[in-house]
Amino acid sequence: MATSDQLMFARRLGPTARLLIWLLIGVACVVADSRYHALDGLRDGFAALLRPLRETMRAPTDVAAELGGFFTRHRLLQNERDALLAERAQLAVGANGARQLARENAELRALLKLQARPGQQVVHAALLYQGHDWFAQRVTLDRGARDGLRDGLPVVDVSGLVGQLSRVYPESSEITLVSSPEQLTPVFVERTGQRGLAAGSGHGRVELRYMPTHADIRPGDRLLTSGIDRVYPAGIPVARVSRVTRPRSTPYLRVEGVPLAGLDRSRAVLVLVAEAPPAQAHTPEQPTQTHSSPAQTIPSQVTLP
């Protein structure tokens, strides 16, 4: 049974009525916010309350983006570093090649300044390679028999005597260096004129053999070719005396020297080719008549310089 404060047949609002009421409230809020900015404070409050939650939810995305950017920049830096290293290597190779070309050009200019002596020709050659056996003391040139070379010709560079041609092929030839134990070179001391025989020691050095103990020779003296063997022209620098000792077991001095030529660094050399002596041209004999004597035959000769 209903009490006094309760209605007997009360009804609730239907869904349609509630929807219309909320729509009216919403429209009123929109009008109040758009015209009078009545909800700005409420909006700011909600934004302040939700900022930590928003930042927390956005943190994984920011971390992932930062990590992706880090790895991308790291890969780009690695690529740039590799490109710079490759460029530096190319520049180093170019610089080394430029220095090598400058050295070869200087050597070639110095060789061009060497003047051929009368009765002698020079053949420019370049060193191709040194044999596999360093102790053999042999070097191969890029010139051969087709260029007029033959066995026994002397080879010089800017500084002095390099060696002698020992084998000649059609397009290449082989030098036996002056420091080879197989090589003997007649020389004389530039300061005193004392003659001797220089022989290679096989270690990039030469020694002057059979010098008597009373010979005037000292470290620093230059040894030049004497030319008495008619193989080497006279006056080519061969070596500089580095040490002189007087052993008690032999009557000769022990004289050691250092070759003046760049045996292990020269790239361009000259091969000295002796010209054949000029032949004298003879004219045929012609009879000549005089008024006071019968016909006589007078030989006429032309001498070439």
Q: What is the pLDDT along the chain (305 residues), one digit of tens a residue?
A: 555 555 555 567 788 888 888 888 888 888 887 887 777 777 788 888 888 888 888 888 888 888 888 888 888 898 998 888 888 888 888 888 788 777 777 766 666 665 556 666 788 888 877 765 556 688 899 899 999 899 999 999 888 999 999 999 999 999 999 999 889 999 999 999 999 999 998 878 999 998 998 899 999 999 999 989 888 888 899 999 999 998 888 889 999 999 999 888 888 888 988 765 555 544 445 444 444 333 333 333 323 23
Q: What is the pLDDT of residue 45?
A: 83
- Tokens for 199, please give them: 């022989």
Contact 242, 221 (CB under 8 A): no
Q: Could you identify the residue written with the tokens 């036996």?
A: 176
Q: Which pTM was predicted?
A: 0.56
- Nearest one of 262, 249, 197, 250 to 223, comparing CA atoms: 197
Q: What is the pLDDT of residue 301?
A: 33
- Tokens for 62, please give them: 């920011």
Contact 178, 261 (CB under 8 A): yes
What type of residue is 66? E
Angstrom distance (rounded) from CA 21 to CA 173: 115
Query: What count of Cα atoms within 13 Å lies in the side-chain half-sphere of residue 117?
Result: 10
3-state secondary structure the chain: CCCCCCCCCCCCCCHHHHHHHHHHHHHHHHHHHHHHCCCHHHHHHHHHHHHHHHHHHHHHHHHHHHHHHHHHHHHHHHHHHHHHHHHHHHHHHHHHHHHHHHHHHHHHHHHHHCCCCCCEEEEEEEEEEECCCHHHCEEEECCCHHHCCCCCCEEECCCCEEEEEEEECCCCEEEEECCCCCCEEEEEECCCCCEEEEEECCCCCEEEEEEECCCCCCCCCEEEECCCCCCCCCCCEEEEEEEEECCCCCCEEEEEEEECCCCCCCCEEEEEEECCCCCCEECCCEEECCCCCCCEEECCEECCC
CA torsion angle 61 66 68 73 (round to 10):
160
Angstrom distance (rounded) from CA 283 to CA 305: 16
Angstrom distance (rounded) from CA 108 to CA 150: 23
Q: Could you identify the residue written with the tokens 């020389």?
A: 187
Q: What is the pLDDT of residue 107?
A: 67
Contact 211, 204 (CB under 8 A): no
Q: What is the pLDDT of residue 165?
A: 93
Angstrom distance (rounded) from CA 239 to CA 199: 11
Angstrom distance (rounded) from CA 174 to CA 168: 6
Backbone angles phi, psi at 86, to 5 degrees: -65, -40
Q: What is the pLDDT of residue 291?
A: 40
Which CATH architecture fits 120-274? Answer: Beta Barrel (2.40)
